[in-house]
Copies of this chain bind each other. A is one copy, B any other.
Amino acid sequence: MKLSTLASLLSLEFLGKDKEISRLNTLANALEDELSYLDHSRYLDVLKSTKAGAVLISKEHTNALPGGCSALVTPTPHLSMAYASAYFATPLASTTGEPARVDPCAQIFPHVYIGKGAVIEADVTIMAGAYIGDNAYIGEGSIIHPNAVIYSGSQLGKRCHILANAVIGADGFGYAHTAQGEHIKIYHTGTVVLEDDVEIGACTTVDRAVFGTTRIKRGTKIDNLVQIAHNCELGEGCIIVSQTGISGSTTLGRNVIMGGQSATSGHLKIGDFATIAARGGVTKSLEGGKTYGGFPLVLQKDWLKLQAKISKFFNTNKENK
């Protein structure tokens, strides 16, 4: 879409050279055909070196734009980005375009939907009722179980197992907010990559990235009813037990273990070989190689000690009875 057209659709002032915009991206990653946004002055440094073709930006910061970078001027760049995202959203399912390429050695059961441009490699099994979105890639030997949903553009490696009713690549939970308290959907134009030998439990959800990629690395195993939010990255060989929730943009190293019903906040880094006990609630980045538990989270052995002390103190201290 022409930048001038977008400016007109969003009723925004447009500064600089007109150009073709293909998609949205972050300031750090955007290229010449991409639109980005500056939603806080703390990113002015990043703005200086952005390669974005254009930026949604407030009037006061337009002088900080690098040469050749056009601007859409808006008092609310994040909100304008949300409105803009609707114009760049991946179509949910096309009725036109290249047909899917299904290897003759793949086994496709009845009632399966395979979108345009999808690729199904050899020895893949797509069980009944499964959904494979447009341009999804299902690597050799993978099994998509009944009624699982793989949204468009998701990329699965070899020998992945996606259990029944799991959902890979739904839009993440991201909104911009108006002054009136309305939530404007940010269409997620990123994707999900599952590397080889990843297993995803029944009714587990792995959201696509807002931009870029939600990535689950080789050999990671995820149990049932787990939530992996947009832009997470899980290292190789992680074990994520049932009903755990990992918030957006959090990164796990390799062989991280998260016990049942544990959770993390967003934008954290958890080091290699860290273990989170069941119910542990992670709100800060963690060094690897240790076992943590509790909420607030501490070392698991300290949590056990603390609970024992609390119990002892209050059950033996008369004044407090």
Interface residues of A (CB under 8 A from B): 92-93, 95, 107, 109-111, 113, 125, 127-129, 131, 133, 143, 145-147, 149, 151, 161, 163-165, 167, 170-171, 173, 175, 181-183, 185, 199, 201-205, 207, 219, 221, 223-225, 227, 229, 236-237, 239, 241-243, 245, 247, 254-255, 260-261, 263, 265, 278-279, 281, 295-296, 298, 306-307, 309-315, 320-321
Assembly CA distance A62 to B185 (angstroms): 55
Q: A254, B181: Cβ atoms under 8 Å?
A: yes
Nearest opposing residue in chain B for A304, CB measure: B296
Q: Determine the distance from Cα of A204 to Cα of B111 in the docked complex, in whole angstroms.
A: 23
Contact of B312 with A306 in the complex, beta carbons under 8 Å = no
Contact A170 B129, CB 8 Å, known A245-B242, A263-B278, A306-B311:
no
List 3 A-B pairs, minimum CB-CB distance, nearest first.
Answer: A113-B128, A131-B146, A149-B164
Contacts of A125 in B (CB 8 A): 92-93
Least distance between A280 CB and chain B CB atoms (Å) = 11
Question: Is the pair A225, B223 in contact by a Cβ cutoff of 8 Å?
Answer: no
Q: Which residues of B contact A265 (CB under 8 A)?
A: 278
Chain B neighbourhood of A203, CB < 8 A: 165, 167, 203-205, 225
Q: For A281, what are the chain B residues with a Cβ–Cβ distance below 8 Å?
A: 278-279
Contact with A320, one of B147, B199, B295, B312 (Cβ below 8 angstroms): B312
Q: Pick the contact of A306 from B263, B298, B314 — CB < 8 Å? A: B314
Chain B residue with minimal CB distance to A159? B185
Contact B167 A164 (CB under 8 A): yes
Question: Chain B contacts of A161 at CB under 8 A?
Answer: 185
The chain B residue sitting closest to A111, CB to CB, is B111
Q: List 19 A-B contacts (CB under 8 A).
A: A92-B143, A113-B128, A129-B149, A147-B147, A164-B170, A173-B223, A183-B237, A202-B207, A205-B242, A224-B227, A225-B225, A227-B243, A243-B263, A261-B263, A296-B311, A306-B315, A309-B314, A309-B321, A310-B310
Residues from chain B with a CB closer than 8 A to the CB of A113 are 109-111, 128-129, 146
A177 to chain B, nearest CB (A): 9
Query: CB < 8 Å: which of B151, B261, B279 contacts A164?
Result: B151
